[in-house]
Amino acid sequence: MSRRIYIETYGCQMNVADSELMLGRFRSAGYERAELPGEADVILLNTCAIREHAEQRIYGRLGELSRYKVRRPGVVLGVAGCMAQHLKGRLLERVPLVDIVVGPDAYRDLPLLIDQAREEPVLATRLSRDETYADLAPARADGVRAWISIMRGCDKFCAFCIVPYVRGRERSLPVGDVIKQVEHAAAEGFKEVVLLGQTVNAYRDGDVDFAELLRRADRVHGIERIRFTSPHPADMTDRAVEAIATCAKVCPHVHLPLQSGSDAVLDRMRRTYTIAHYETLVAKLRAAIPGLSLTTDIIVGFPGETEADFEATRAAMLRTRYDAAFVFKYSPRPGARSAEWPETVDEAEKTRRISLLIEEQKQTSLEINDAAIGGEVEVLVEGPARRDPKQWFGKTLQFKTAVFPHRDENVGDTLRMRVAEVSPYTLFGDGVPAAIRTAEDVTV
């Protein structure tokens, strides 16, 4: 009987893509996929280390999963991803039931490492300067959207961030391999691709920059939508803005992390841009791309963030009027530069600051969505909504969730939905018949 692998994914979309890559490796080694940990011979957690909370969750989950090992001692329990790379051998010491700790650059030989882990604990956390897995085929989950990593690692070393230490140096996949993956996704029936990288717009392969890559991806037949995440404001060239604006399939949505609205804090964060530069970029994007949806990441409570700094962030957020903002409390990450700096904002004050931003952003999101009522949006159908299966959902071009009464639409169809009601995060259709383009219609 073949062996069975179960993977649970935490953190960002890069990890989702990496889990599919790992599943591809296991598939080539003859494994089948298990849907539940209790049915698996190998249980892997693909982890995140961006904030301390992420690591706490994993410890809890490892505690729960260890019962499968106690019940069946042959089961291999492993930790992959950023937390594995961050803690290395300390993870084996702290959770002795873990058999293998494997970092983001050691997935190529994973089935082999698992065999070794059946004999003795394995630590595979060497980072690589050139591993991109460009030649490996991921086992993608069914759906309308395929995640494609186009670069790995990060060279920015923002003071708060652990990513450069756990994912290593920035490296791009060869353009030919990226385009092959886009073509392959189209052949598998995916309608949308999301190009991924920690600083995705820093992509470069020889003369091919991110703008040129978008143009080449835009020509791939069968793909209807192209997204990318996350760009860094300092790497967003005029060429890239123009490519986003002119490529027909590239969606009008940019996730542009702000982090702070105070130049003093941005400088200490080593973000390499000023608020003026950021806002000029936003103005350029908005002028070039009609209907652009903008989302962002913000950190509150960075060491030394004064009340005035925070107010500058708040004002910047309100000026830009984002469609959505993800706001985080600063979390010191051992290894990152700012972890050595004293924390000056206490937990209660971080809570006050984050709550205020979340509340004000919710209001802005609602106002922006309110303005969509009565109009039509184009929705790529994904399937039944979680709460009520009579309702289906999909994403708009702006990456907003749209929920509508299901009639005979299929997954992968594109529908024009009239917006009847909204919440800050969702658009609701009223079920008035609208034009449908079925998944089989070849329109691109």
Instruction: Single out the residue of 18, 22, 79, 86 nearest to residue 50, CA to CA.
Output: 86
The CA R_g of the chain, rounded to the nearest whole Å, is 22
Least gap, CB of 21 to ligand SF4 (angstroms): 19
Which tokens belong to 404? Answer: 């509508």
C-alpha span between 35 and 121 (Å, rounded): 25
Q: Which region, judged by CB under 6 A, interacts with ligand SF4, from 102-110, 129-137, 160-168, 426-434?
A: 160-168
Residue 414 Cβ vs ligand SF4, minimum distance, rounded to whole Å: 32
Burial of 215 (0-12, 13-18, 19+ CB in 10 A): middle
Binding mask 117-156 for ligand 5AD (x = CB under 6 A): ----------------------------------------
Nearer to ligand SF4, 259 or 396 (CB): 259
Query: Whole-number minimum distance, CB 112 to ligand SF4, in Å?
Result: 30
Choose from ligand SF4, ligand 5AD, none: what does 57 bind? Cβ within 5-8 Å by kind. Answer: none
Does position 161 interact with ligand 5AD (CB under 6 A)? The reply is yes
Measuring CA to CA, which residue among 135, 229, 228 is closest to residue 184? 135
Orientation of helix 238-246 relative to helix 275-288, angle to 10°: 30
Element of type H or E holding 418: strand 414-422
How many whole angstroms separate alpha carbon 444 and alpha carbon 442? 6
Q: Which residues are CB-contacts of 398 (< 8 A; sequence separation ≥ 6)?
A: 251, 252, 253, 291, 292, 293, 323, 377
Is 163 a binding residue for ligand SF4 by CB under 6 A? The answer is yes
Residue 156 binding partner per list ligand SF4, ligand 5AD, none, with a CB distance cut-off of 5 to 8 Å that depends on partner kind: ligand SF4
User: According to the binding rule CB under 6 A, does residue 298 interact with ligand SF4?
Assistant: no
Is residue 333 near ligand 5AD by the rule CB under 6 A? yes
**Dist. CA 3–CA 436, nearest whole Å:** 43
Query: CA geometry: angle at 329 spanning 325 and 334, to 5°?
Result: 125
Residue 50 binds ligand 5AD, judged by CB under 6 A: yes
Alpha-carbon distance of 126 to 261, in angstroms, equals: 37
Candidate ranges 125-133, 219-227, 245-253, 328-336; the one touching ligand 5AD (CB under 6 A): 328-336
Q: How far is the CB of 161 from ligand SF4 (least distance, A)?
A: 3
Q: Is 164 in the site for ligand SF4 (CB under 6 A)?
A: yes
Query: 50 touches which of ligand SF4, ligand 5AD, none (CB within 5 to 8 A by kind)?
Result: ligand 5AD
**Which residue in the block uniquely carries the two structure tokens 């003369």?**
207
Reading the block at residue 2, the tokens are: 């073949």
Paired with 414 in beta bridges are 380, 437
- Alpha-carbon distance of 50 to 12, in angstroms, equals 9
- CB 45 → ligand SF4: shortest distance, Å? 21
Give the residue, chosen from 10, 147, 330, 399, that forms a contact with ligand 5AD under the rule CB under 6 A: 330
Report how far residue 118's alpha carbon sits from residue 338's, in angstroms, rounded to the nearest whole number.
39
Size of the site for ligand 5AD (CB under 6 A): 12
Per CB under 6 A, does 266 bind ligand SF4? no
132 binds, among ligand 5AD, ligand SF4, none (CB under 5 to 8 A by kind): none
Sign of the four-CA dihedral 330, 336, 338, 339: positive
Among 5, 148, 161, 275, binds ligand SF4 (CB under 6 A): 161
Which residues form the interface with ligand 5AD (CB under 6 A)? 50-51, 160-161, 257, 259, 297, 299, 328, 330-331, 333
Which residues form the interface with ligand SF4 (CB under 6 A)? 154, 156-158, 161, 163-164, 198-199, 232
